[in-house]
């Protein structure tokens, strides 16, 4: 009799277990990873559909499908999926501007007993073949250049540095290039002097920082004369950041160096009526062991920096840098700056700020 009771209880438990299992939905995918293989960058979007079945006993609802980044655009079955029926998750990948291998996830959230599933799409994007416009994007009349900006990056104060820029003649005629408005610190030449149709040429620029006699980030504009024709649209920007190189200084030199110190580098003027002016005096102190030399003090647009009384500050001495902000034509939140270039090896560039709000 006892054995029959135990058997009945066991069967009852199994029945309840099956009923509980049937009371839930379950999602079963045919595959959870799909490899697109090799796809072309300019071949357009690729799509794969992940099929799944509701293997539970209750309707399955897909709440959200979220892609790992904007390059995968998901779609899915929106209506409830009955037990035993199928649904889909569609993942679309855009290879444009994404050369190389990719491994993207698609996170699926449902009301199933396992509420979160992670699907993956993988593959490799083959880079598109570059056109002439890709290689030489900057057009100037009959020629195309790789860029219209010659950057010399960092240049020491007395350094002479050379940079080159490649171009191509895309016209059906020969082309010669000379330059207009070339500053004294810059020498520019072209090889070959006459460029045949379809032929490449090289612009060589030599930058002499000693002749520039400036500090920090500086920009010059040079104009191309193509076949002796001057067009102000054919402009080449030449930039450099002129600063001393302290990387090879010894510990002894660093210990004896000047130290620029300004306790409060931000001045908040609060609210200012449009058209009014406000000024603030920043106190600069040399807390180092040798003379501090102020190379340059430069203000951003809308702000004026009055040159300090002393450009050479002895150890322990101080000077004032007065910055003035003119709110004429301004409105809303303002953030203006004053940049100080000095011979402090650790802070050769220091930024001061004036901030506040201009109201009408």
Provide the domain count of the chain.
3
60 with 149, same domain: the answer is no
Is 5 part of a structural domain of the chain? no
pLDDT digits (tens, 9 = 90+) for 233-287: 999 999 999 999 999 999 999 999 999 999 899 999 999 999 999 999 999 999 9
111 with 80, same domain: the answer is yes
pLDDT in the model for residue 3: 53
* 151: Cβ contacts below 8 Å, ≥ 6 apart: 163, 239, 240
Is 4 part of a structural domain of the chain? no
Rounded-to-integer distance, Cα 303 and Cα 326, Å: 7
**pLDDT above 90 for 300:** no
Report CA-CA distances (Å) from 140 to 77, 146, 191: 53, 11, 17
Is 18 part of a structural domain of the chain? no
Q: Give mean pLDDT, residues 227-235.
A: 90
Cis before residue 219, ω within 30 degrees of 0? no
pLDDT in the model for residue 19: 45
51 with 85, same domain: the answer is yes
* 332: Cβ contacts below 8 Å, ≥ 6 apart: 357, 358
78 with 162, same domain: the answer is no
Q: Give mean pLDDT, residues 320-329.
A: 91
Is the CA virtual torsion 205, 211, 214, 215 positive or negative?
positive
Q: How many residues does the chain have?
A: 360
Is residue 143 within a helix (H) or strand (E), and if so which, with residue range?
strand 143-145
146 with 236, same domain: the answer is yes
Last residue of a domain, one of 92, 126, 160: 126
What is the strand order of the sheet 86-93 is part of? 27-29, 46-54, 86-93, 72-76
pLDDT digits (tens, 9 = 90+) for 160-196: 999 999 999 999 999 999 999 999 999 999 999 999 9
Is 17 part of a structural domain of the chain? no
Long-range contacts of residues 131-135, Cβ cutoff 8 Å, at least 24 apart: 132/168, 132/170
Cβ atoms 217, 241 nearer than 8 A = yes
Q: Give the mean pLDDT of the chain.
A: 90
Query: DSSP class of residue 18?
Result: H
Is 7 part of a structural domain of the chain? no
Is 2 part of a structural domain of the chain? no
**pLDDT above 90 for 73:** no
Q: Name 236's bridge partners.
A: 222
pLDDT in the model for residue 349: 93
Band of the pLDDT at 9, cuts 50, 70, 90? very low
pLDDT in the model for residue 21: 47
Helical H runs in 54-208? 132-135
117 with 213, same domain: the answer is no
Last residue of a domain, one of 220, 242, 264: 242
In 3D space, the residue among 106, 99, 54, 101 whose CA is nearest the CA of residue 81 turns out to be 54
Q: Hey, is 131 helix, strand or coil? A: coil
pLDDT in the model for residue 231: 87
Percent of the chain past pLDDT 70, that is, above it, reads 93
Rounded-to-integer distance, Cα 308 and Cα 305, Å: 9
Cβ atoms 158, 71 nearer than 8 A = no
**CATH code of residue 158:** 2.60.40.10
Last residue of a domain, one of 87, 110, 126: 126
pLDDT in the model for residue 308: 87
108 with 140, same domain: the answer is no
pLDDT in the model for residue 140: 95
Dihedral angle, C-alpha 168, 171, 172, 176, nearest 10 °: -70
Residue 20 — φ and ψ, nearest 5°? -65, -40
pLDDT digits (tens, 9 = 90+) for 81-123: 999 999 999 999 999 989 999 999 999 999 999 999 999 999 9
137 with 204, same domain: the answer is yes
Rounded-to-integer distance, Cα 200 and Cα 175, Å: 11
109 with 137, same domain: the answer is no
pLDDT in the model for residue 18: 44
First-to-final CA distance of the chain:
96
Instruction: Provide the residue range defining the domain that includes 45.
Output: 23-126
- Measured at the CA of 292, the angle between CA 297 and CA 304, to 5 degrees, comes to 15
Band of the pLDDT at 72, cuts 50, 70, 90? confident
pTM for the whole thing? 0.69
Q: How many CB atoms lie within 10 A of CB 21?
A: 12
**pLDDT above 50 for 20:** no
**pLDDT above 70 for 17:** no
269 with 237, same domain: the answer is no
Percent of the chain past pLDDT 90, that is, above it, reads 81
pLDDT digits (tens, 9 = 90+) for 123-173: 999 999 989 999 999 999 999 999 999 999 999 999 999 999 999 999 999
Is 335 part of a structural domain of the chain? yes
């Amino acid at each position: 009799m006892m054995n029959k009771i135990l058997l009945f209880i066991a069967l009852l438990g199994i029945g309840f277990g099956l009923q509980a299992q049937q009371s839930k939905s379950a999602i079963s995918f045919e595959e959870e990873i799909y490899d697109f293989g090799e796809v072309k960058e300019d071949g357009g979007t690729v799509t794969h559909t992940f099929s799944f079945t509701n293997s539970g006993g209750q309707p399955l609802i897909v709440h959200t499908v979220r892609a790992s980044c904007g390059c995968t655009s998901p779609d899915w079955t929106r209506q409830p999926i009955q037990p035993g029926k199928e649904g889909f998750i569609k993942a679309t990948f855009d290879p444009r501007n994404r050369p190389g291998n990719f491994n993207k996830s698609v996170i699926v959230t449902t009301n199933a007993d396992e509420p979160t599933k992670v699907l993956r799409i993988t593959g490799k994007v083959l880079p598109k073949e570059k056109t002439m416009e890709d290689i030489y994007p900057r057009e100037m009349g009959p020629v195309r250049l790789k860029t219209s900006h010659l950057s010399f990056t960092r240049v020491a104060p007395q350094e002479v540095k050379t940079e080159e820029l490649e171009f191509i003649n895309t016209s059906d005629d020969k082309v010669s290039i000379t330059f207009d408005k070339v500053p004294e610190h810059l020498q520019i030449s072209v090889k070959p002097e006459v460029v045949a149709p379809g032929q490449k040429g090289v612009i060589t620029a030599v930058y002499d920082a000693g002749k520039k006699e400036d500090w920090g980030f500086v920009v010059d504009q040079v104009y191309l004369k193509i076949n002796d024709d001057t067009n102000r649209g054919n402009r080449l920007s030449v930039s450099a950041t002129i600063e001393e190189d302290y990387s090879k200084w010894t510990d002894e030199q660093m210990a004896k160096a000047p130290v620029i110190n300004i306790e409060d580098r931000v001045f908040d003027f609060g609210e200012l009526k449009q058209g009014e002016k406000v000024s603030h005096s920043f106190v600069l102190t040399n807390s180092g062991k040798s003379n501090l030399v102020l190379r340059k003090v430069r203000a951003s647009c809308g702000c004026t920096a009055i040159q300090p009384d002393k450009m050479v500050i002895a150890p322990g001495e101080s000077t004032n840098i007065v910055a003035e902000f003119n709110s004429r034509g301004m409105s809303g939140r303002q953030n203006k700056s004053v940049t100080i270039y000095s011979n402090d090896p650790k802070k050769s560039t220091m930024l001061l700020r004036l901030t506040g709000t201009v109201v009408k």
